[in-house]
Amino acid sequence: MNVAIDIVSDLVCPWCFIGKRRLAQALARVREKHPAARFQLNWLPYFLDPDTPPEGVPYRAFMEARFGGATAVAKAQLAVVEAGAESGVDFDFGAIALRPNTLRAHRLIYRAQSIGHRPEAVDALVDRLFVARFQRGEDIGDIATLAAIAAECGDDAATVTAYLESGEGVREVRALVDKVRGLGVSGVPFFIVQRRLAVSGAQTAEVLAAAILQGIAGAAV
């Protein structure tokens, strides 16, 4: 049985990183009950900050302006760190210097999916981008950085560099963002199971697994 799961996320969203790890835990739970299930994951782009310039903006200043000061930022990050620890994600916010524009990173994921990279390779790419952002403090808006990350995941750095330096994939990624907003998605992460069941937010693995099982049951009717 094939189970389609769309994941709407932005790579500057720490809760999306947590949501990805929780989804993996949920899929493991579902496989215990349905070992023949085959999951078709489709990563869809979202821009939390669509007006971020291509070169990015200083991270601390951005966060303090958004949350209203250093104390509020520390509180928000502590909540993320605690939730991440429970899901196997160790955040290093101190390593982050820049808030990037994520269009190029989303284009990289779009390319991997559209040219038919293996699901495992796409998953590894998405995970590596989150690791770059939240654990290594790498600039995922930078073409050279993205090409190096793609190469780590089995792609060709020169080909990826040429792609990112062109305008290829820009229109398609922006169209997907408009599409998900048209579906009423106003925050991420957001999961859509079997094109009909929606789960908003970085829900627990238990909640995600229940939604997936419900989707499987509905498909069997």
Any idea what the CATH number is for the domain that residue 88 is in? 3.40.30.10
The number of distinct structural domains making up the chain is 1
For position 15, what pLDDT does the model report?
98
Phi, psi (degrees; rounded to nearest 5) at 149: -65, -45
- Residues 54-74 have pLDDT tens digits of 999 999 999 999 999 999 999
For the chain, percent of residues with pLDDT exceeding 70 = 99
Any idea how long the chain is?
Answer: 221
Residues sharing a CB contact under 8 Å with residue 149, sequence separation 6 or more, in sequence order: 108, 125, 128, 129, 132, 138, 140
* Sign of CA pseudo-dihedral 181, 66, 130, 55: positive
Strands (DSSP E) found in 117-194: 190-193
Q: Which tokens in the block code for residue 33? A: 């009950």
For position 218, what pLDDT does the model report?
80
- Residues 69-117 have pLDDT tens digits of 999 999 999 999 999 999 999 999 999 999 999 999 999 999 999 999 9
Q: Which tokens in the block code for residue 37? A: 């299930």
Integer Cα distance of 28 and 34 in angstroms: 10
- Residues 141-195 have pLDDT tens digits of 999 999 999 999 999 999 999 999 999 999 999 999 999 999 999 999 999 999 9
Integer Cα distance of 95 and 131 in angstroms: 11
For position 102, what pLDDT does the model report?
98
Q: Which tokens in the block code for residue 111? A: 């390319």
Determine the structural domain holding residue 80 and report its residue range: 2-220
Integer Cα distance of 191 and 199 in angstroms: 5
Taking a C-beta distance cutoff of 8 angstroms, is the pair 15, 80 a contact?
yes
Strands (DSSP E) found in the chain: 2-9, 38-45, 57-58, 98-99, 190-193, 197-200
| Residue with more model confidence, 153 or 220 | 153
For position 220, what pLDDT does the model report?
58
Residues sharing a CB contact under 8 Å with residue 69, sequence separation 6 or more, in sequence order: none
Please work out, in degrees rounded to the nearest 5, the angle formed at the alpha carbon of residue 154 by the alpha carbons of 149 and 157.
55
Residues sharing a CB contact under 8 Å with residue 141, sequence separation 6 or more, in sequence order: 54, 55, 56, 98, 100, 101, 102, 103, 104, 105
Task: Work out the widest C-alpha separation in the chain, in whole angstroms.
Answer: 52
